[in-house]
Amino acid sequence: MIEGVALHFHSDFFCIEKHKKEVACNGVLFNNLYEPPSVFVDDGARNEFEGILNSMVVEMKAGEFAQTEMLVTWLKLFLIKASRLKVQQSPQALADVAGDKEPFLLARLKDHIEAHYRSKHTPADYAELLHITPKTLGKLVKTHWNRTPTAIIQERILVEAKRELYLTNKSVKEIAWELGFGDEFYFSRLFKKNVQVSPQVYRETVGMGRG
């Protein structure tokens, strides 16, 4: 049986929009589509994390003045320590496994996805940009990132969709159109399949529509 503690907060935007300068975990702990999301915690790190969590529990029970600010401070400390561990444990190991050609293609793939995720949504689109076959692209991504190209592309689209839902009052139809979806309902189905809630519910519980 596995036991643990759940530290519940909204990872998408705590680090990305509100506290990215202080915490600097965007792309390290969260929203890195190309690296494993886990962090190994040894006994020393576990004791540090448990100390922070215990302090947060005490603060929540105390209910004293400026409680929210204190909890945010503890959360920042927790995430900074976790980010440092992640950086120590993931120094480009996956990209160096297969030699020079494959990491170069992976770097180009990242660049192409960043440049074209609004208009190009299929592995075949990116295989063409890289001058390789979709099958070769699929094997390369699977070998190094243990993912499919489709999953990588869709996750980049969803990161942007969440950002738009969180920060703007654009309609779901507008966001879908800007992300290259002519069919709003197809976009909504894709979003719900991956995020487990519809774009509108996501906005109402996380973004500009909350409260």
> Sorting pLDDT into bands at 50, 70 and 90, what band is 1?
low
In angstroms, the CA 146 to CA 139 distance is: 9
Task: Quote the mean pLDDT of the chain.
Answer: 81
**Torsion sign, CA atoms 173, 162, 198, 115:** positive
> Sorting pLDDT into bands at 50, 70 and 90, what band is 178?
very high
Instruction: Convert the pLDDT of each residue in 32-46 to its tens digit.
Output: 666 666 778 888 888
Mean pLDDT within 134-156:
91
Mean pLDDT within 20-31:
55
- In the chain the domains, ranked by start, together with CATH numbers, are 11-91 (no CATH), 96-211 (1.10.10.60)
Q: Is the pLDDT of residue 153 over 90?
A: yes
Instruction: Convert the pLDDT of each residue in 97-115 to its tens digit.
Output: 334 445 678 888 988 999 9
At residue 19, the pLDDT reads 52
Secondary structure (DSSP) of the chain: ----------HHHIIIIISHHHH--BTTTBS-TTS-------HHHHHHHHHHHHHHHHHHHH--TTHHHHHHHHHHHHHHHHHHHHHHH-SSTGGGTT-SHHHHHHHHHHHHHHHHTTT--SHHHHHHHHTS-HHHHHHHHHHHHSS-HHHHHHHHHHHHHHHHHHH----HHHHHHHTT-S-HHHHHHHHHHHHSS-HHHHHHHHSTT--
At residue 77, the pLDDT reads 86
11 or 5: which leads in pLDDT: 5
At residue 99, the pLDDT reads 43
At residue 3, the pLDDT reads 77
Q: Is the pLDDT of residue 169 over 50?
A: yes
At residue 94, the pLDDT reads 34
> Sorting pLDDT into bands at 50, 70 and 90, what band is 210?
low
At residue 93, the pLDDT reads 37
The predicted model scores a pTM of 0.57
